[in-house]
Structures are given as structure tokens and as C-alpha cells.
Structure 1
Amino acid sequence: MSAAPAQTASPWIRRLPLIAIAAVAVIGAFTLGDLLSFEALAENREKLLAFRDANYLVAALGFIAIYALIVAFSLPGATIATLTGGFLFSTFPGVIFNMTGATLGAIAIFLAAKWGFGAQLSAKMDSSDGKIRKIKEGIDENRWSMLFLIRLVPAVPFFVANLVPAFVGVPLWIFAVTTFVGIIPGALVYTSVGAGLGEVFARGETPNLSIIFEPHILLPILGLCALAALPLVLKALRGKKDV
């Protein structure tokens, strides 16, 4: 008699982390906008720099932890956090701190999604017939290319790129590697912008956050996207020839 309720409750228990993430994300969207903003960074820059100078290791580890939490709970301010990493720690090692925090946060939401829904959805796709099974097989055969592609394309929201791999059964280590490597271009651009915030603050201006869409930045990223997509294109062409 007691086994049935446990089996009924277990799916909801598995989904609790994802539900908690969604709840915190909604609350954060309405409450943290002012706290995680460029204006807040500008107002507190002297305190942050002083704390960094007095406690560098603690500041670095604390920054990575906060960045990971922002990403894990899909809170507003990820771009500001990236700028802050550059402002506090320069382009290097700031970019490493940014990438580490972003990857850890991405892994957290990936595991929550995989534990809650991903394993079940992946198993259903594996056992299904027709187009759904073919889509799953195509994803399995091109995991590296597809994961790099969704990380490199600026139009793909970061949280979407965290959830989709969990729902299609991507192994954790592949997700972690492609996340860390795939976010290098964007992280490097925004970290370098953050490293120049001192001059921006001095002029009383705001940083150019649309810089990633400028031709000299966007074109190389699109080139990387094309390189990531090349194996997919070649396989598609070979498949047509076989037919």
C-alpha cells in the first residue's frame, strides 16, 4: 500500500529543484532589477574595489559563487555580472572567473532539468517511432556541433541553451565542456568591456552593450557558428547523396 504513493510522489520530488529555480527566477525578476544593474555597480564601485584589494581570493571566489547563483536561478543581471568580472579582475583573469561562474550555474540548472524531466523525456524519445526518434538520433550523432552552435549564436538565450541539452539526454561532461568553451567569445567581449568601465565611469557614461553586434565582433562569432555547423551540413549532404 505504501509503495504506490511513493511512486506517485517521486516525479514531483525530482522536479522540486526545477520548480524552486523557476520560483526564484520569477521573484528575482521583480525584486533584483535595481540591485543587479549598471547604476548599482557605478554607485558601489569604490567599495567593491577596496574589498577586492583587501581580500582578493575571497573576492574572486565570492564573485564566482554569486555569478553561478545568478545563472542557476536565471536571475536578471548576468550581463552586469560579466562586466563586473572585467571591472574587478581585468580581462584576464576576469574572463576565467566569468566563464567558471557561468558554467557552474549552467551545470546546476542543467542537472535540475535533467533530474526533473530530462531522463524521462529522453527515454520517451528513444522508445518512440518515426520523426521524434529520428530527431533524437540526429541530436545524439551531432551533440558537439549542436551544443557549440547554440552557445555561439547570440540570439539563443542562455537559459534555453541550458535546458534543451538536459531534455534530450546530453551527458553532463559534454554539456560542461561545450558550455565552458562555447561561451569564450561572448565572455571575452563583455569582460573586456567591463575592464574599461573605469574610464566609462569617469566620463559619466554607460557601456556599449550592443558591441557584440558590431561587424568586427559579430562576423568572427558568425564564422565560428558556421564552423560549428559545418559537420551538420556535411552529414546532411552525404545523407542526400546516399538517398
Structure 2
Amino acid sequence: MLTEMTPPAGRNWRRIAPIVAIAIAATIGFFNRDAFSFQTLADNREQLLAWRDSSYVLAACGYVLVYVVVVAFSLPGALMMTLAGGFMFGMFPGALLTLTGATAGATAIFLAARMGLGDALQRRMDASKGTLTRIRDGLRASEISYLFLIRLVPVIPFFVANLAPALFGVSLRNYVFTTFFGIMPGTVVYTWVGVGLGEVFARGERPDLGILFEPHIIGPILALALLSALPIILKHLRRKGR
């Protein structure tokens, strides 16, 4: 009987191992978050530019790889990485490199969460009629709209937007599509800030990271969020009318 029980336990451990690794890495990263600080970027700016100038392709690939690791393990450095992308590579290809790394990292954590927790949560929702089931049904009815909405609304933490869809069984294709294009507005804004870091460093100042919430910036992003929510609102009104 013990022999028969062992393989399932082993399989269960292999399934949750990625989630455990992410949790451990995120905890370590939280206590070492100064490694991805503005001061670290300022202190190493000359070395980064020298690396870029001597091995541009290698520097670009290295940047994307580090971004994937930061996002996949929920390390607290995505914003500084985006600034570094603009500083090192300019608006283009800086924004494209950031979008590639962020989307790949988000996809990795999505697949890890689905492998470790998705099936168990799915069975629980299928057996219940509570709030989780209603959220799942609403998400499935307007999947792309919901996914775009959680990407575009700035108050939703990035790691929550990465994990939550996996737990509700959304399509991987829709997840990747909405992640890449949904994070594009914020990525472009902070890459733009990163492009001007050379002057900021020269003055010994810090960049204005609150620029995303300036009316002329946040207004169009919220308009996109409202546009994404429009199909959800219309479906709700039609259902209410019936």
C-alpha cells in the first residue's frame, strides 16, 4: 500500500515545486531588494553602457534574460529593469526588449501556477457555487476584456495579474496576447523615463516615477481600460435587461 501511495506523492511534489521555488526566490528577493534600486543603477551606469557598447547583442539578450528571471520569480526589480532598458537601449528597442522579457517571465509564472495549483482550484470551483465560481464564469464569458482590464488598471500589482488568470483556467494564448499588449502603455512610459536617466544622473537627482499618474498619462491608459471593460458592461446590461 505504501509503495502504491508513493508515486502520487512524488508527482504532487513535482507539480508544486515551481510554486515553492518562486515563493522562496520572492522572499529572498524581498530581503535583498536594494540590489535592484535606483542607486544600484546609478552606481553601475558606466559599466552597463560599456558592456552595451562592446557587446550590444549579448547585452540585449542578457537584459531580456534577467528581466525574465525577475518577473518569473516575482523579484522586486521590474520597474528598475524597465528604467535600465530605456537607459541602455533607448525607447526602441528598449521597450520591445522589456515587453519580451516581461511577457516571457509572466508566462513562466502563469504555467508554474497552473501546474501547481490550477487543477486543484478548478476542481474546487466546479464543486461549489460561490464567489470564485461566479468570477470564473464571468472571466470565461469575456476573457480577453477581463485580462486587458487587469493589465491596464495601474492599481493591480503585476504579480497578482500574473498569477490570478492561471488559477481560473484562462487560455494561454489569450494570456500571452493580453500581457504583451496590456503592459505596453506602462512599459513605454517608464522606458521613456529611462531614456532621460543620463541627464538625471548628471544632476545627481532621482527620476519622477510618479509620472504614470500624471493626468495626461493616466488619462489615456484609463480610457483604454474603460474600452476593455465595455464588452463586460454591455453583457451585464443585456443580462439584466432579460
What CA deviation, in whole Å up to 9, does each residue of 1:159-207 have, x standing for no partner? 0001100000012111111100100000000000001101111111100
Relative to the length of structure 2, the TM-score reads 0.96
Say yes or no: does 1:115 pair with 2:115: yes
2:34 match: secondary structure: coil
What CA deviation, in whole Å up to 9, does each residue of 1:213-238 have, x standing for no partner? 01000111110110010011000000
Q: CA RMSD of the aligned region, Å? A: 1.3
Q: Distance in 2 between matches of 1:183 and 1:81?
A: 14
What CA deviation, in whole Å up to 9, does each residue of 1:101-131 have, x standing for no partner? 1111101111111000012212332343465
Q: Distance in 1 between matches of 2:140 and 2:38?
A: 41
What CA deviation, in whole Å up to 9, does each residue of 1:127-166 have, x standing for no partner? 4346543432221111100000000000000000011000
The residue number in structure 1 matching 2:160 is 160
What CA deviation, in whole Å up to 9, does each residue of 1:44-67 have, x standing for no partner? 111110110110000000000001
| Aligned-partner residue type, residue 7 of structure 2 | A
User: 5 Å matches for 1:2-81?
Assistant: 2-31=3-32, 33-81=33-81
| Aligned-partner residue type, residue 30 of structure 1 | F
| Aligned-partner residue type, residue 23 of structure 1 | I
| Aligned-partner residue type, residue 104 of structure 2 | L
| Aligned-partner residue type, residue 18 of structure 2 | P
| Aligned-partner residue type, residue 101 of structure 2 | G
User: Which segments of 5 or more consecutive residues in structure 1 lack a partner in the other structure?
Assistant: none
Q: Distance in 2 between matches of 1:82 and 1:134?
A: 36
Q: Distance in 2 between matches of 1:155 and 1:85?
A: 23
Q: Distance in 1 between matches of 2:123 and 2:55?
A: 48
Task: Provide closer, same or farther for how the CA distance between residues 75 and 241 of structure 1 changes in structure 2, counting only shifts above 3 A.
Answer: same
| Aligned-partner residue type, residue 80 of structure 1 | M
| Aligned-partner residue type, residue 104 of structure 1 | A
The residue number in structure 1 matching 2:216 is 216
| Aligned-partner residue type, residue 27 of structure 1 | I
| Aligned-partner residue type, residue 135 of structure 1 | I
CA apart distance, 1:12? 2.8
Q: Distance in 2 between matches of 1:44 and 1:62?
A: 15
1:169 match: secondary structure: coil
Task: Provide closer, same or farther for how the CA distance between residues 241 and 77 of structure 1 changes in structure 2, counting only shifts above 3 A.
Answer: same
The residue number in structure 1 matching 2:147 is 147
The residue number in structure 2 matching 1:180 is 180
User: Which segments of 5 or more consecutive residues in structure 2 lack a partner in the other structure?
Assistant: none
The residue number in structure 2 matching 1:240 is 240
| Aligned-partner residue type, residue 53 of structure 2 | D
Say yes or no: does 1:202 pair with 2:182: no
CA apart distance, 1:95? 0.2
Task: Provide closer, same or farther for how the CA distance between residues 130 and 155 of structure 1 changes in structure 2, counting only shifts above 3 A.
Answer: closer
2:155 match: secondary structure: coil
Percentage identity across aligned positions?
54
Q: Distance in 1 between matches of 2:128 and 2:29?
A: 38
CA apart distance, 1:28? 1.2
| Aligned-partner residue type, residue 105 of structure 2 | G
On the 8 A contact 1:145/1:232 being kept in 2, the answer is: yes
On the 8 A contact 1:186/1:212 being kept in 2, the answer is: yes
